[in-house]
Structure 1
Amino acid sequence: MRKTTMRRTLAATVAMIGIGVLVLAGCSGGNEGGGTASGTPTVVTSTNVWAAVASAVAGEDASVTALYTNAEGDPHEFEPSASDTAEVADADVVVLNGGHYDAYMESAAKGSDATIIDAFAIMTGDDHATANEHVFYDLAVVGKVATQIGDALAEKDPTNAETFKANAAAFNTEIDGLRAQVASIKQAHDGTKVAQTEPLAGYLLSDAGLVDVAPTGFTGAVEEGQSPSASDRAQMEDLLTSGTVHALIYNTQAVDSTTEALLATANDSGVAVVDFTETLPEGTNDYIEWQRAQIEALSAALNNNGAH
């Protein structure tokens, strides 16, 4: 749930604190070579989403740690501790979302000797201007991240190189299965209008042929922890009450009185509500399992709501 209305300022402040802590950690003499005491490579990720991807590749041959694992909070607002930043300093491989989604990680990683894998940079290259930072909903990008993790771990631990690469390939096969499910939604519902409460799953919805018609002023305000304007709220309500949209994509980790009111309107209007999350739900540790459940819920909602 968003409690902060100054996210960007907070992120910048946290980033500066993180850099200072990282410098101190680097001078404290920790594990200069990275890895664990037994020589097993270590991977540190910003969120449990990327940890799930890394774990699928690492298997039993590398350790994976996520800094942010809260299934209910907002990853944008995470404030790392000194020990969190030290974890990044000592890692062999660092996986971050990028795009200022996890600004604390971007700053901490700059001082690390680890191999840095930036998902947002993989997707956008040099064009960062208008891209949505929620790249963990871009299945193709997630597959590329897994491949890069496999390559990085293979370099850190040549003995298990083939295992890491095989695990990455197996993960990509499962990603292909998810993409096939998304393609099936597109085949059945191409052009169907939906609305998100926040611009979270844009890449997946686009690949599914769905059109998010929510006012950008509304979703942008929710993302920033601010109150949407009266006109944007009215427009969003009308999309639901008029039957224009066939599903409301509801970010359960960006909830306030505005989104709760919208949820009530959707329920009263008979519009299907599909819950989506920014991090893995409690009790889920598998990226493929998480996305498959959401994709299946989306497909069922559209089928049951008579979307064409």
Structure 2
Amino acid sequence: MRRVLATVLIALLGVVVAACSGEKTPRTTDRPVVVASTDVWASVARAVGGEHAEITALFNSPGADPHEFEPSMADTAKIEDADVLVFNGGHYDAYVETAAASSAALKVDATALATGETGDEHADHDHDHAADDHAGHDHAINEHVFYDLPLVGRVADATADALATIAPMHAQYYRDRAAAFNDGIAGLTARLAAIKARHDGAEVAATEPLSTYLLEAAGLVDVAPPAFTAAVENGQSPSAADVAAFGDLISGRRIAALVYNTQAVDPATRTVLEQARAASIPVVDMTESLPAGVTDYLSWQSTQIDRLEEALDR
């Protein structure tokens, strides 16, 4: 009886220790559940997971502003129950990390990959992106990291590694698909290099610092008034002086194109849009999430690069 009681006590003690440790072990399954913060990151996860993963995007509203998204209780439950989480990081979708505090999910944090701050085994600390020289998350780098094409390729690789951990029977499948995705990224990067060869140093003006990484890869210089773009990014109205300064760029025909975020629109951005059209300055529409009917990341970015090429080659 004493031996039985001792065994029971040891078992109970083990349960208590495990509960106090807060550690959870990811499960193994042949069809991992992946929850992405936005449809953009879901499209990357889908490119990797294919038929051997279940992909869900929390924010999936074309035309809406992802910055204003507030998850429901059902969304929080999805995060807690996920096998893999793919998200932007920083303050862009901080609700994911908050909800995942008690989750066993493997986390693929794009911003952490960019800054090299992740402790996750999937991080690549050899990444030489200029942002690595900074400290911190979204305060150190432009938080729209889904426009950093090489980084998105690394997110695909990290997602493949995470999925392979959960579903080792499909590991090669995931890694092959990530490699194919990166081939597509290389093709888009080559197109940006070709734009740079033709238009290096050309000045453009963006209504918000959305596509900064892509514009820089194309050799373009964004000369929009910083106070104007900062106000738009923070959901505030630019001052009259900043709107006037933006208008001067257009009326003086200093810019080769207006890069217009169609999901961060207010009276000030509409004003500069109208001015650009009146001055016959090409307008390049860019979005913060996938347009209606689009589910593929590479196709989305290819279309936007098409618009940029057309505007600059006019």
Q: Write the letter of the residue equivalent to 2:38.
A: T
* Aligned pair partner of 1:282 in 266, 289, 292: 292
Secondary structure at 1:117 match in 2 = strand
Which of 50, 53, 56 aligns to 1:62? It is 53
Question: Are positions 1:160 and 2:170 aligned together?
Answer: yes
1:45 lines up with 2:36 in the alignment:
yes
Q: Give the unaligned 5+ runs of structure 2.
A: 1-24, 118-134
Of 178, 186, 206, which aligns to 1:196?
206
1:270 partner amino acid: S
Are the aligned partners of 2:203 and 2:222 in contact in 1 as well (CA < 8 Å)?
A: yes
* 1:202 shift after superposition: 0.3
Alpha-carbon offset, residue 51 of structure 1: 0.3
Q: How many Å separate the matches in 1 of 2:311 and 2:98?
A: 40
Paired residue for 2:71?
80
Equivalent residue for 1:299? 309
Corresponding letter in the other structure for 1:205: L
Which residue, out of 188, 191, 216, partners 1:178?
188
User: Which digits, 9 at most, give the CA deviation of each residue in 1:27-81, with x for residues without a partner?
Assistant: xxxxx9668xx85101000000000000000010011000001111110110101
Alignment check: 8 A CA contact 1:100 1:106 kept? no
Output the CA distance in 1 between the equivalents of 2:216 and 2:305.
13
Please point out which of 87, 99, 102 is paired with 1:108: 99
2:109 aligns with 118
C-alpha distance 34-42 of structure 1, shift in aligned 2 (>3 A): farther
Report the counterpart of residue 14 of structure 1 in structure 2: none
Question: Aligned with 1:204: secondary structure?
Answer: helix
Mapped contact 2:81–2:103 kept (Cα < 8 A): yes
Aligned to 2:4: none
Name the CA distance, whole Å, in 2 between partners of 1:258 and 1:180: 34
- Residue 109 of structure 1: how far off its partner (Å): 2.4
1:267-294: CA deviation from partner (whole Å, max 9, x where unpaired):
0011100000000000000000000000
Whichever residue aligns with residue 246 of structure 1, its letter is: A
Alignment of 1:1-16 (within 5 A): none
Amino acid at match of 1:265: Q
Q: Which residue is 1:10 aligned to? A: none
Q: Which amino acid aligns with 1:74?
A: D
Give 1:207's aligned residue. Answer: 217
Inter-partner Cα distance in structure 1 for 2:306 and 2:35: 30
What do residues 152-195 of structure 1 show as CA deviations (whole Å, max 9, x unaligned)?
11111011110001000000000000000110110000000000
Tell me which structure has the larger Cα radius of gyration: 2
Which one of 276, 282, 288 corresponds to residue 272 of structure 1?
Answer: 282
Q: Give the counterpart letter for 1:119 in structure 2.
A: A
Query: Would you say the 8 A contact 2:48–2:178 is kept in 1?
Result: yes
Q: Counterparts of 1:197 and 1:142 in 2: how far apart (Å)?
A: 23
Q: Distance in 1 between matches of 2:307 and 2:34?
A: 31
TM-score of the aligned structures, taking structure 1 as reference length:
0.86
Give the aligned CA root-mean-square deviation in angstroms: 1.3
Query: 1:233 matched to which residue of 2?
Result: 243
TM alignment of 1:124-135, pairs within 5 A: 124-126=115-117, 127-128=135-136, 129-135=139-145
8 Å CA contact 1:96–1:105 kept in 2: the answer is yes
- Correspondence for 1:21: none
Q: Secondary structure at the match of 1:173?
A: helix
Q: Please say if residues 97 and 136 of structure 1, whose CA atoms lie closer than 8 Å, have aligned partners that are also in contact.
A: yes
- Deviations along 1:62-113, whole A, 9 cap, x unmatched? 1100000111111011010111010010111001101211121232223321
Distance in 1 between residues matched to 2:62 and 2:297, nearest whole Å: 14
Tell me the matched-pair count.
271
